Every structure is written in C-alpha cells, then in structure tokens.
Chain A
Amino acid sequence: MQKNLAVKAIFIIAVMLVFLFGIFGVPKTYSGPGLATAVQERIHLGLDLKGGTHLILQVMVNDAVNADSDHAIERLKEEMRARNISYNDISKPDPAAQPDHIQIKGVPPESSGDLRGVVQDRLPEYDLVSGAENSWTLSMKPGQLTELKNRAVSQAIETIRNRIDQLGVSEPVIQEHGLGEHQILVQLPGVDDPARVKEIMQSTAMLEIRQSFGGPYASEQEALQANNGVLPPDTVLLKGKSIGARSGDLAPTDQYFLVSRSSAVTGRDLRTAEPSRDENGRPDVRFLLTGEGGRRFANFTGAHVGDYLAVVLDNKVQEVARIESQIHDEGRITGAFTEQQAKDLGMILRSGALPASIRYLEERTVGPSLGLDSIRHGVMAAIIGMGAVMIFMLVYYRGAGINADLALFMNLLILVGFLGFSGATLTLPGIAGVILTIGMGVDSNVLIFERIREELRNGKTPPSAVDQGFGRAWLTIIDTHVTTIVSAFILFIFGTGPVRGFAVTLTFGLLANLFTAVFVSRVIFDWVLGRHQRGEALSI
C-alpha cells in the first residue's frame, strides 16, 4: 500500500514537472523578471490582450470566374473563326450572378456538331447546352467551378501572406475563415493603425501592358464619337488620370483611353519591381520581366514599332508611351507617387497579383493600452476568485480543504502548462474560462467530500468512507464534465477568436480537473489515512 502510494506520488510530481516545463520552458535565469520573460515566450496572448488588428476579408471569387470565362470567350471566338463557324454574338448574359455562363447566339443549325467539337476540344471544363433560336449556353462544370473558386482563395491567402511578411508584422495569422464562404481571416498583432496594411492587402495589383489605340478622351461619348460610334473589335475603354496630374502639376481629371482587350504581358511575367526615380527625380517603379515574358514583350514591341502601349494597373491606365524601338524586358510605371507609395507598389508587384478583388467585412482593432488593462483586470479577477474559493474550502472542510486547495492549484498549473505546450492562444474570455474552471473544478471536490461526510455519518470507518465517497461521486463527476465539455466543444466549432480561447481553457481545465480532483486528491487522502492512528477522526 505505502509502496504503491510512493509510486503514485512520484508520478504526480513528474506530471507537475512536465507542466511546469510547459509554463516556463528552461528559463535562462531563475530571477523574477527572467521567469516572467520565459512565461511571455511560452504563452501566446490573443489579439484582445496584446493589441492588434483582426480583419475578415471576402474574396470576390466571381472576379476569378469572370476572368476565366472572359478568357474562354476569347478562345471560343478564335477557334470558331478558325473552323468557319458563324455566329451573331457571344456574351455573358449576367456576369454578376452567373459569371461562368456564356451565351452564343445565331449559330446555324448545320454547325452545331462543329460547335460541340470546339467545346469538347478547347473548353473541356465547360458544359454546352442548346437553347431556343439557335442559341447555346456554356456553363462551367460544377466541380471545376468550385475548384476555381477555392484556388482563388488559396492564391489570395498566399499573396496576402507574401505582402504581410514583407511589411515585417510578427506572428501574423492568415487563414481561410468560415465554412466555404470564401473568406479570409487576418490577424496582425501589434498593428494598431491598419489603414496602410489594409490598402496594401487590398490592392489586386493586376499589372498589364496592352496596346493603346487612341486617347486620351475627356469622356466616353467623346471616345465613341472619335471612332464613329462603335469601338473597334477587341478593344475596350479604360479610365486613367490626366498626364499633367500624374506629374503633380495640374488637378487630376479622369480621362479615357482606347486599349486592346488582351494584354501583351501581365504581372505574372514580372521578375522584379523596384522603386526608383525618373529623369526629373520623381518616384516611379521599374520592373524587369522574366525570360519567357521578355521574349513575348520583345516580339510584341518589335512588331509594333511606332504604335503606342499602355501600362494598366488594376484596370486603370497609368501611362501611355510610344514604342520607339524593340523593348526586351524592362519597363516602368509612373504616377504621382510619393516615395512611400512607390515603395509599396514595388513590394505589391513583387508579391504577385490577387486572383480576385477583396472586400473587408469586419475590422476590429484593440489598442495596446486596452489589452494591458484587460490582462490586469483578468488576472485580478482570477486571483480574487481563486483566493475566495480556497479560503472557503479551508474554513468549511479544514484538513480536507488543504487537499482541495492543493488539487485546485495543480489544476491551474496543468491548465497553464497545457497552454504553453499546445501553443493555444490565451484570450480575455480564455482567462474567464480559467476562472470558471476554478469554480467548476472545485465542484468535483465538493461532490466527493460531501459523499465522504455522508458515509462517515452513516457510521463507516474513514478508509471505507473515503473509498465509497470517491467511488460514488465518480459517475456524477463524469456526467457533469461531459455536459460542460459538450457545450465547450460546440463553442469551439462555431466560435471565433476570443470565444474559441474560452472553449479551449474551459475544456482543458476540466480535463485536468479529472486528474487533480480525483487522482491527486485520492492519493493525498490515502497518504493522510496511512499516517492516521486507527479510530482517529478524519478532518473533513
């Protein structure tokens, strides 16, 4: 019996040492401040405690689908021309709601077999359905569509991570959020002024170099008039700022430029982009193209000497320049940039384009002063709550109270040690979970002690009363823990950030409680009983 007890005691001490290591690691010094820094390194605080910014972004995945279907329309037109299939019109009837639906009108009935062939060969990811009056509808296969959208989200996460890494934010969290809602959660500890970061994240940074056919025009009407009322095939009108405004001399006005629908090179062909200065010392961004992109650019500029090209960023014309001679692999983007803007733009271009635009759905900023206040309040409430419970247990159960208090203390130690091991974040509701664990954890002890008292009243000897007390209370303890852990588990699944922290501390607090209140308490009782003289009363 005594030997058995010694083994159990050693086991308990070993567990405690393991979790103490979880809290402190191996501190460099054993002084107070040394231990404090050791704890700070191991326990991760949530944004609500250390301050920072929490953002939820919506990836507008339909942008990516639209880009894909635009591309499909281009390929379709090309192929139908090549195979001599005539048609009246190819367009997207509802790009906002059904970005993957493409309608082809006026295909002669005798060409329908050829059209099927085209779709099968060149657009295997689309389904073709015939409609009324020789019209056909293409829509993307559901599996492909889902994959395209998911790919857009993971690409956006990748790009945003690149950008945030370059901003030097430490320990950012960037992950998919919500269940299939195409949302991204971004947490930026220590960022209390999110305006600049938000702008950098939001910039889609779609860089394209296209051919320019005319402009600037003051308005869309003027552009149409200049082209006899119809835009030439495969061209679009894009907005841009007036050239004078871009060099900062005049107030900016919107102008329109007629540019090609397709681009010669895009941001994907960039090798680097660096901030620099133009001949007048104004900030601009210079870029170099990759080998493959450079070859394409050289071919394009070689064939179009004397024509104009437009540098388009996020569908806005930044610059129009005449092609004086063949250009190989370099270019520049000008605009009325400040030095900071030029630096940011270079960084954004290097990090790659977003596959779709993003929108901010939620923004929460906690200033560091509030976080500090919260920690202070939380710790204070925990100490007072725990103190009150411990004193009560001592007064009410006397000797056994020491037992309960010891178990409670170990419970807390294991919980905090667990936080250190698992890397789970401690939030303000998480601290509340710790406090609640104290209250609920002591419940197990009360259950057991009340049972022991009852058994003693019924005339049992102390050892058998302790035995019965633990045995009978065990089932009830399991019941109560299971119900609370069930609610905590559901909270963990549905909750976000701070609430999750609450679910985590509560669950692990109660699991640790099974060990401390049942196993540890029992060992202490057995030890006390072992030292007792036969017939001596139990202090409970």
Chain B
Amino acid sequence: MITANLRVLTRVGLLAATALILFLFESAAPRPLPWMRLGLGNTAVLVALLLAGAPAAMGVSLIKILVGGLLTGALAGPTFAISGGAGVASLLVMIVLHHLLSAQLSPVGISVAGAACHQLSQIAIASVYLGHSNLWTLAPLFLISGVASGVLTGMIAYFAVHRLRQISPAEPAR
C-alpha cells in the first residue's frame, strides 16, 4: 500500500514538475497567434489523468496553476483568474469524458474537448471580469486554435502514456 502511494506521489511530483517546465517554456516562447497557446503544460495533466486517474490529474493541474502563477508573477491578477478558472473547467470536462467515453475517445478527443472548454471558459471569465462586454466574437478563432493545440497535446500525451506503460508494464491498466 505504501509503495502504491509512493508511486502515485512520485508520479504527481514528476508530472507537476514537467507541467511547470512546459508552462514556463511556453510563457517565454513567442505565440503563433496573440490569443493562442499550445497548452503544452496540459500534456502533463492529461498524462496524469490517463496514467494515475482524476485525483492525480487535479494535483498536477493545481500545482501547475498555483506555482505557475507564482513564477510568472500573474498570481491573483485577472489573467491568473482567467487561466486558472479555465484550467480547472477544462480538467473537469476531460475527467468526465475520460470516465464516460474512454471506449469512444482517445487522448486526442479528450484533449480537444478540454481545449475547447478551456477557450470558452476563458472568454466567459473575461466577459464577467470586464463587465458585460460581449467578447464572444472572439470565440471562433479561439475554438479553431483550441482544436489545433488540443490535437497536438493529445498526440503527445498518447505517445507519452504509451511509452511510460512500456517502461513500467506492472502498472495496473486503467
């Protein structure tokens, strides 16, 4: 039991560190479009969900949001509320889909749905913050870039999980 817990703890720690490195790398890298992020940090969250389940994914996501906000200086600012809120919303969607539709969806489908939810949540939170400003005209471009980044992060997560399972085949399949 202790070994199992240790394994989960180690995994969450490693994946959270990976998520943070990717998140920081992406914050510094130029963006393909002003409103587009590839969401590379989300790859680690998705890997945690697929390998270790919902609680581990929540752990990785919260560490990424809080420590990432602290390191980029955005903590407690409006952009933190937007990206943090959107991060939580998209994770919830991915958890639900992973549990209900894992026979129909691969990590790519789960990731695309999560990215779409992330983008829509960002607009919703920003609209509320800015007070009844209608920002929904931005939605199509946000969603299209979300599909692109969702496919990319889903593919990376799929191959990462595939490889990690080959390395530690003793892991019970989920």
The reply to whether chain A is a binding partner of chain B is: no
